[in-house]
Homo-oligomer: A and B are copies of this chain.
Amino acid sequence: MAQRTATGTRARRTGATIEDVAAAAGVSNATVSRAIRGLPRVAQPTRTRILEIAKTLGYTPSASATGLATGRTRSIGVVTSSLRHPAYSAALEGAEKALHQREYSLILLHHPHLPTSPQPHTNLNMLRRRVDALLILGARTLGQNQIEQFIRDGIPCIVIRMHNEQDDGIQIQAAVTAICHLVQLGHADLVLFQDGATTGFQLRLKARGLEHCANALNAAGIRPREIRVETRSAAIRNSRKAFSRLWAETGPKPTAIVCASDEIALGVLLEAGHIGITIPKDLSIVGMDGQNLSEALGLTSVSHQPARRANAGIHRLLDALEGDHGITYAGESSPELVIRQSTAPRKQERA
């Protein structure tokens, strides 16, 4: 029997220990340990008996003890700069699923990055001896130095870039995907409703080494107009206004619009409904990274698949951890187009 009377008052009611199981089964705790974890050197009948007794006693190994003995906590930290943004939630869900499946636990840390003041590594320290590895949601969530610090401490890190960040390596791909879809539908007069922060589309194409893409568009005579929507506050309202203004302009109306976010798309949708424009007959709209909203609205959109990417990230992390090799850098999965009801071929009536 385990001598449950700790050294004083620190007795805390705790479940059965490995010793209880060992005693009940008439074997040593070493054998129980092997049996429970499915390790080889245990006779089949012994194993069966032990497992049964363990179940009867409701035995669950103590994470702390295992952790102390093995040096691994079997838990992974997930650091995110947002819990409200749907894309981050999706990523979190993807990570949770992978972790749960592989029987790791997920330690969540919300670490919003205030643009001002390079806040010190606040309670990131808390993670140091608590997790085996780190999944970081958002490229700007942790500083490069902090990440290197962790890695130096033997904690592997993977960063999942999110689309709403300055670093638009993903966003630009998504825009290209959306445009391709529209061009295939015959649209030529496109306008891009961009997030206020981003720089010119054509410029970004080139910066990303996608000149061929820019050239192709030019060759086809397609030169998307760009409109900046201030999204810091009241994205929806600003988007409505921008669309209203656009539509009031003289000259030919665009036949398709690509929106840099769900909010922007919603604003366009609302105003279009108000003006009496029928979607997608009169106008095609593509949203971006549509989570719940664009599905509910029937909005065609291109998704960055945060859930899938975070999921894959966790698997890479755990593979590295368990295989004792470095992290493998699988190619990021590219944005995926989900076609719903807001896009249609261009009207050919008076072509």
Contacts and interface: CB of A to CB of B under 8 A. Distances in A.
Copies in the complex: 2
A59 to B, nearest CB: 9
B129 A60 contact: yes
A131 to B, nearest CB: 9
Contacts of A234: 296
Given A60-B129, A296-B235, A71 B123 contact: no
Contacts of A100: 109-110, 123
A308 interface: no
A110 B126 contact: no
- Interface-centre pick from A10, A129, A234, A292 (highest chain B CB count, 10 A): A129
Nearest to A15: B153
A86 B62 CA distance: 34
A326 interface: no
B154 A84 contact: no
B73 A83 contact: no
B13 A154 contact: yes
A62 B10 CA distance: 19
A97 B110 contact: yes
A346 interface: no
Contacts of A128: 15, 60
A92 interface: yes
Contacts of A129: 14-15, 60-64
A263 to B, nearest CB: 6
A1 interface: no
A90 B86 CA distance: 11
Given A71-B14, A154-B13, A106 B105 contact: no
A130 interface: yes
A281 interface: no
Interface residues of A, number: 64
Nearest to A269: B270
A57 interface: no
Contacts of A317: none
A242 to B, nearest CB: 15
A96 B92 CA distance: 14
Given A62-B68, A73-B64, A125-B60, A237 B298 contact: yes
A177 to B, nearest CB: 23
A165 interface: no
A108 interface: yes
Contact of A83 (B10, B71, B89): B89
A275 B35 CA distance: 69
A21 interface: no
Interface in A64-89: 64-68, 70-73, 75, 78, 83-84, 86, 89
A273 interface: yes
5 contacts: A6-B71, A14-B71, A15-B128, A60-B129, A270-B270
Given A10-B71, A75-B107, A107-B107, 9 more contacts: A12-B72, A15-B128, A60-B129, A62-B129, A63-B73, A64-B65, A64-B66, A83-B93, A96-B108
- 4 interchain residue pairs of minimum CB distance: A64-B67, A12-B71, A64-B68, A60-B128
